[in-house]
Amino acid sequence: MRSRSLLPALGLCCLAGTAFAGPNAGGVILIHAEPGLIWTNELDVDYCGLSTTPSCSDVVYRVDGGPGFTVSHVLAAFPPTGEPRVAGVTMGLVYDPAEVLIAGWGECGDFELHTGGWPAPNEGIAITWGEAQTDHVLEVAWFATYTYGDPTTLGLRGHPSGGGNFADDDVPSNIDAIADYGILGFNTDGDLPCGSCTLSLSPSAVTVYQPGDGTFPVELNVADVDQLGRFEACLGHDPGLVEFIDQTIDETFLGSTGRDVFPWDPIPCASECGDAGWRIAASTTGSEEGPSGSGTLAEIRFRSNGDAGGSSTVCLDAIELEDTEDPENVIWVAAASGIEMTHSAYCFGDFTADGDVTVFDLAQNIPRWGTCAGDPSYVATYDVNLLEEGNFCASTPDGCINVIDIQRVAGRWHLGCETAPAPGRNGQAERGGGATVRISPESQVINGAVGQEFTVVLSVDDVTDLGGFEATLSYDPSVVHVLGVNRSEFPEVTGRTAYSFANDIDNDLGTVRFGACSVGLDGGAAGTGDLVEIRFEIQDCEVTTDLVIEDVLLTYVDGAPQPVISVTDGSLEVQCATDTPTIPMEPGIALTHYPNPVFDSAEFRFRVPDDAATSDVSLEVFDTAGRRIQSLVHDRLEPGEHRAQWDTRSGDRDVASGTYFARLRVGEEERTVRVVVAKR
């Protein structure tokens, strides 16, 4: 049982003493209605120790219902990032006595000194403990209140003469102002003064590679801050595995309201969460309010220190954020998150740890393309995203393995374990302003029957130094199904070797995902070319479906993302055809063919007009570059309709899938039609 003795010699009415930013800085007091507690007016009933609130955010600050009693606790709450040491507190009350009756109360400290009218409105109390309290949520007092059912509140405030303060057990005490006060609402909202401001180091997970003699960056970020004027934190780490190099204060957010920013030099600090620590800090001056919201405070550079595997953490403690509105009001920091570091014993991409990046390393990465965290085959080791472009000292997983991760590794093929490839080592071409991706041709009419096959081409324009690619194509599965995807030769035209990823075909949803990476010491393909041919089967006729290109990624040969400035979708109009088409009846020469598209062979039907008498007639097939593929007819023919067969499996050239042109000449007249070849 606590003592109710008074200690006037301590001067608790004002908790005298001066020392800025003691251990209780940023603390708040609030009122919590403990669910399930029932008031009894028996003497010597003590409700201290009956609050079950584990954190500030779990406080119940609203009570609904008719007239009745409520048991509530006054709690002192301190930021999770702080290290409170409470020896005393001063506070007061504010409420309407016509609406709220305090039927009982008690303090949860060892000693108390209150004003004569306590606990009347605007009166105050000082409560102290014989030993300093270190809990982040601390019971200060309790009240039994009776309310009359109407919306009303019971609030906290500063002591009428001593103000609202916390004191520690130093001599003299460090006095920290109560940062904010809570309100308990009856049939109305109260107020919970716990701050939502957070500090974080990003990324949250980093893999550091060996050997590596370079440095790598991490960022210190703040979120949900209000009027930030100064920040300070101790950055803890394991000096046996990582070495602190330097800090760069980012003035973009700190100075965004017009205040002048003054970086503090980094100095060693005592870290509770790491074996060594460095202070990261900056202050601002000016008449403007400090920035509010979220932003980056600093970039911190580390160097790997040692070449063994293992793990370590980089953490934050001894945090102080200062409010520009009230410089002695330290901003509540609700949480601070650090970095989990994995220290790899091999260099970037050398998963086999043989001193070089080879096809055996890619063989571990490529099968995991398209997997994300939660998938059985996802392994974060292969989810490698550089912290800094061109810097292979460290990477971070982003939760999914895509072509950028794989091409990053492929771009290191046979470059050894240098920190970064030498300039020009990859024969890298100058990078352009962005590529375009399109369905070719954009719109097609397919004359066929259910079960018949045809192909569609995905093409790229204005690409530079192409390393890898991936994309998803969606379609209406009631119209067509995808049978397969074949990579075109374009990614290999400069001498590189391309490896296709396993196609992900879902004919229930109507999507197909595909991609490829490439290896080699030559630069990547540039200009215009085809990436893949997608083979379809007709499911229904006399219908149209859009072909929508989604989730496109192009990379340079080193794996860096290549800008895609536009994407052009396509459409298919499927028409069922059971016989060869008729020739248009307009006067003059005419030319048509069946089927469309052409698979193994095509029949051309053409007309020599009646007024042509006996004419020199030629029918030839050309590719898009204007090269003649095959001559089908070269003769003198009588007027009327004629036929010619084209077998795409024979002729002067190997006829691959793609777009071609058939040209008919009758005397001085000619007709040209486009022919799409879709090899099975």
Instruction: Kindly state the average pLDDT of the residues 189-202.
Output: 91
Provide the greatest CA pair distance for the chain: 130
Q: How many CB atoms lie under 10 A from the CB of residue 213?
A: 10
Where residue 208 falls (left for φ over 0; alpha for ψ -120 to 50; beta otherwise) is beta
For 441-485, what is each residue's pLDDT tens digit? Answer: 888 888 778 888 888 999 999 999 999 999 999 999 999 999 999
| DSSP 8-state symbol, 288 | S
Mean pLDDT estimate for the chain = 87
H-type helices in 196-310, by residue range? 251-254
Sheet holding 615-623, edge to edge: 628-637, 615-623, 658-666, 669-677
Q: What are 280-330's pLDDT values in tens digits? A: 999 999 999 999 999 999 999 999 886 667 899 999 988 889 888 766 667
How confident is the model over 32-64, as pLDDT tens digits? 998 888 888 766 778 999 988 878 888 999 999
Q: Of 91, 57, 73, 22, whose CA–CA distance to 193 is shortest?
A: 57
What is d(CA 437, CA 455) in angstroms, rounded to the nearest whole number?
17
DSSP class per residue in 609-646: -GGG-SEEEEEEEEETTS-EEEEEEEEEE-SEEEEEEE
Distance from C-alpha of 273 to C-alpha of 600, rounded to nearest angstrom: 71
HSE, CB side, 13 Å, CA atoms: give it for residue 345. 6
What 8-state DSSP symbol labels residue 586?
S
Calpha distance 267→432 (Å, rounded): 44
| Cα gap 312→335, rounded to integer Å | 20
440 Cβ contact list (under 8 Å, min separation 6) = 456, 457, 458, 459, 530, 570, 659
Q: How confident is the model at residue 609 (pLDDT cuts 50, 70, 90)?
A: confident
Residue 398 to residues 216, 293, 299, 340, 342, Cα–Cα distance (Å): 17, 24, 20, 14, 15
Q: What is the pLDDT of residue 599?
A: 73
Asked if pLDDT for residue 189 goes beyond 80, the answer is yes
**Residue 36 confidence (pLDDT):** 85
Give the global pTM: 0.72
593: confidence class by pLDDT, cuts 50, 70, 90: confident
Polymer length of the chain:
680
What tens digit of pLDDT does each residue of 505-553 get?
999 999 999 999 999 989 999 999 999 999 999 998 888 899 999 999 9
Structure tokens at 228: 């930030």
Residue 507 or 654, more confident = 507
Instruction: Give the β-pairing of 260-263 and 215-225.
Output: unpaired
- Residue 569's pLDDT band, with cuts at 50, 70 and 90, is very high
- The band of 2, judged by pLDDT with boundaries at 50, 70 and 90, is very low
Examine the pLDDT at 226 and tell me if it is beyond 70: yes
Write a three-state SS string for 216-248: EEEEEEEEEECCEEEEEEEEEECCCCEEEEEEE
Q: What is the pLDDT of residues 334-387, one digit of tens each?
A: 889 999 999 988 889 999 988 889 989 999 999 999 999 999 999 999 999 999
Banded pLDDT at 420 (limits 50, 70, 90): very low
Q: Are 391 and 558 in contact (CB under 8 A)?
A: no
Q: Beta strands 543-556 and 561-562: pairing type?
A: antiparallel
Q: Which two tokens stand for residue 647?
A: 């077998």
Evaluate whether 357 touches 409 at the Cβ level (below 8 Å): yes
Which pLDDT belongs to residue 4?
A: 35
Residue 633: exposure state from Cβ atoms within 10 A (0-12, 13-18, ≥19): middle
Token pair 């374990």 in the structure block, residue: 417
What sign has the CA pseudo-torsion 220, 223, 225, 227? positive
Average pLDDT rounded to a whole number, residues 423-437: 65
- pLDDT on residue 252: 96
Rounded CA Rg of the chain: 38
> Of the ranges 3-7, 121-125, 174-178, 541-545, which is most confident?
121-125
Confidence of residue 425 (pLDDT cuts 50, 70, 90): very low
In this predicted structure, the answer to whether residue 103 has a pLDDT above a threshold of 70 is yes
Rounded Cα gap, residues 144 and 149, in angstroms = 15
Position 680 scores a pLDDT of: 57
**What confidence score (pLDDT) does residue 589 get?**
82
- CB 475 within 8 Å of CB 574: no
Higher-scoring residue by pLDDT: 425, 249: 249
Of 302, 316, 301, 304, nearest to 240 (Cα)?
304
Q: Which of 150, 51, 67, 186 is nearest to 106 (CA)?
A: 51
Give pLDDT, residue 329: 67
pLDDT value for 307: 63
Contact 603, 583 (CB under 8 A): no
Round to whole Å and give the CA distance between 269 and 233: 9
Q: Is the pLDDT of residue 603 over 90?
A: no
Give all domains of the chain, ordered by start, each with its CATH number: 8-186 (2.60.40.680), 198-343 (2.60.40.680), 435-576 (2.60.40.680), 590-677 (2.60.40.1930)
Taking CA atoms, 66 is separated from 70, 151, 152, 186, in Å, by: 11, 10, 12, 9
Peptide bond into 239 cis (omega under 30): no
pLDDT at 675 over 60: yes
**Closest residue by Cα to residue 260 from 325, 331, 198, 324:** 324
- C-alpha span between 126 and 89 (Å, rounded): 6
Here the tokens at position 456 are 């569609």
- 94 or 195: whose pLDDT is higher? 94
Q: What is the pLDDT at residue 390?
A: 84
Average pLDDT over residues 547-567: 95
Predicted confidence (pLDDT) at residue 10 exceeds the cutoff of 50: no
d(CA 195, CA 387): 31
Cα dihedral 253, 257, 261, 264, rounded to 10, equals -50
pLDDT band per the 50, 70, 90 thresholds, residue 418: low
- State how far the Cα of 62 lies from the Cα of 32, in Å rounded to an integer: 8
pLDDT, mean of residues 18-30: 77
The Cα 49–Cα 570 span in angstroms is: 70
Nearest to 445 by CA among 581, 325, 347, 550: 581
Q: Which of 434, 412, 642, 359 is nearest to 521 (CA)?
A: 412
Strand partners, 533: 457, 486
* 8-state DSSP, 382: G
Question: CB–CB of 266/279 below 8 Å?
Answer: yes
State the Cα–Cα distance between residues 226 and 160, nearest whole angstrom. Answer: 27
Closest CA to 78 of 26, 133, 20: 26
Do the strands 228-237 and 311-323 form a parallel or antiparallel pair, or are they unpaired? antiparallel
The amino acid occupying position 44 is: D
Weakest-pLDDT range from 147-156, 507-516, 567-576: 567-576
Q: How far apart are CA 287 and CA 203, in angstroms?
A: 34
